[in-house]
Amino acid sequence: MGNFLAGKVVAVTGAGRGIGRAVALAAAAEGAKVVVNDYGVSIEGGEPSSAVAQAVVKEIEAAGGTAVAVADDVATMAGGQRIVDTALAEYGRIDGVVCVAGILRERMLFNMSEEEWDPVVATHLKGTFTVFRAAAAVMRKQKSGTLIGFTSGNHQGSVAQANYSSAKGGIISLVRSAALGLHKYGVTANAVAPVARTRMSANVPMELKEIGEPEDVAAFVVYLLSERARTDGVTGQVYTVAGPKIAVWAQPVELRAVHADEERPDGADGGRWWTPERVAEAVAGPVGVDPMPMLAQLEEMARAAAAKERPNS
């Protein structure tokens, strides 16, 4: 056992399987007391079972660590609150929350139903909010704490997962909002976009060139939860972990701007700077477009479909 997280209390959602389980085991191995949350559902979010969270608690205890199970659904306010309340009741504090829980319901946008949209957004985005919300109230008073959300490279967009992609984009904005809103209370917030072999990534309809194991992601999360990351001033960031690769994503910024250079034409064009014609000139000219990297991938997907192969990422 290491001591990177000695004395800390950490809650991990979706900790029964895959990346969440690896994070819970790694945090416990580094000395944290861990709340293991998992609703124990299928990849689509059905058939809940409390056995999944219990099994990871047993693994942690067998390795000499300390953990408690919470089998609640993170998509409910009561579930998020119970995860944090359990940490307080069992261990007296909460130093970090890691929101890993997630499901998939894949469908093209033009066929997607409300039953495919709502639970995916609720599990990922609301499920991060419910836990952040409950933890932030305690961390604000404690004047310390770490919030970690799980996003995906798919926040850039997705052909057949508009629900998942939207939720993952939302998580990045939620993390940045948490980083801003809690900065003065000494609380940090960051997001991780992992690529690791789990039942969920086995579902990805393409050959992933850069992929690793859940344990690679877990090591990164342990760092983010540690005092080291806090003294390094790491907050408001999005990191990718894919096996041997770690990467930081850029903050969104305006790329190019143009300003109407004439005096405001009082009276002319109703006193507006912009007419559709002037907008067209600006977009065709100095403002331009920013090419979308994922659009280029569509060509590879079409090629692979024609050759009956899995496309390369």
Ligand X SMILES: NC(=O)c1ccc[n+]([C@@H]2O[C@H](COP(=O)([O-])OP(=O)(O)OC[C@H]3O[C@@H](n4cnc5c(N)ncnc54)[C@H](O)[C@@H]3O)[C@@H](O)[C@H]2O)c1
Closer residue to ligand X in complex, CB, 117/150: 150
Is residue 57 involved in binding ligand X (CB under 6 A)?
A: no
- By the rule CB under 6 A, 74 interacts with ligand X: yes
Provide the minimum distance between the beta carbon of 222 and ligand X in the complex, in angstroms, as a whole number.
Answer: 16
Binding status of residue 73 toward ligand X by CB under 6 A: yes
CA dist 62 and 86 (Å) reads 21
Kindly state the tokens that stand for 196.
């690791």
Site stretch for ligand X (CB under 6 A), options 27-35, 41-49, 220-228, 258-266:
41-49
9 Cβ contact list (under 8 Å, min separation 6): 32, 33, 34, 35, 87, 91, 92, 93, 94, 95, 96
**Of the residues 142, 156, 201, 313, which one makes contact with ligand X according to CB under 6 A:** 201
Does residue 118 contact residue 103 with C-beta atoms inside 8 Å? no
Using alpha carbons, list the distances in angstroms from residue 264 to 270, 273, 277, 280: 10, 6, 16, 19
The single-letter code of the amino acid at 227 is E
- Check 39, 164, 185, 223 and give the catalytic one: 164
Q: Under the criterion CB under 6 A, does residue 100 sit at the interface with ligand X?
A: yes
Nearest residue to ligand X by CB is 18
Please identify, among the stretches 34-42, 179-187, 248-256, 296-304, the one whose residues bind ligand X according to the rule CB under 6 A. 34-42
H/E element, 281: helix 276-284
Under the binding rule (CB under 6 A), the answer on residue 50 touching ligand X is no
Encode 200-245 in three state secondary structure. CHHHCCCECCCCECHHHHHHHHHHHHCHHHHHCCCCCCEEEEECCE
Edge-to-edge strands, sheet with 9-13: 66-70, 33-37, 9-13, 96-99, 145-150, 187-194, 238-242, 245-248
Contact at 8 Å (CB) between 112 and 162?
Answer: yes
- Least distance from ligand X to the Cβ atom of residue 256, Å: 31
Given the complex with ligand X, which of 115 and 232 has the nearer CB atom? 115
When asked if residue 200 is in the footprint of ligand X (CB under 6 A), the reply is yes
Contact 166, 174 (CB under 8 A): no
* Residue 37 found at the interface with ligand X (CB under 6 A): yes
What is the 8-class DSSP label of residue 156?
G
Residue 35's CB: how many other CB atoms inside 10 A?
A: 29
- Minimum separation from the CB atom of position 170 to ligand X (A): 12
Stretch that binds ligand X, among 40-48, 86-94, 179-187, 262-270 (CB under 6 A): 40-48
Q: Which stretch binds ligand X (CB under 6 A): 27-35, 71-79, 246-254, 278-286?
A: 71-79
Name the minimum Å distance from CB 97 to ligand X: 13
Residue 185 annotated to the active site: no
* Contacts of ligand X in 228-247 (CB under 6 A): none
Applying CB under 6 A, does 102 fall inside the site for ligand X? yes
CB of 74 to ligand X, least distance (A): 4
Task: Please tell me whether residue 105 binds ligand X under the rule CB under 6 A.
Answer: no
Contacts of 137 (CB under 8 A, 6+ apart): none
Q: Which residue from 8, 12, 13, 98 is in contact with ligand X, where contact means CB under 6 A?
A: 13
Amino acid at position 121, single letter? V
Q: Which residues bind ligand X (CB under 6 A)?
A: 13-14, 16-20, 37-41, 43, 45, 52, 73-75, 100-103, 123, 127, 150, 152, 194-196, 198-201
Catalytic positions, written as ranges? 164
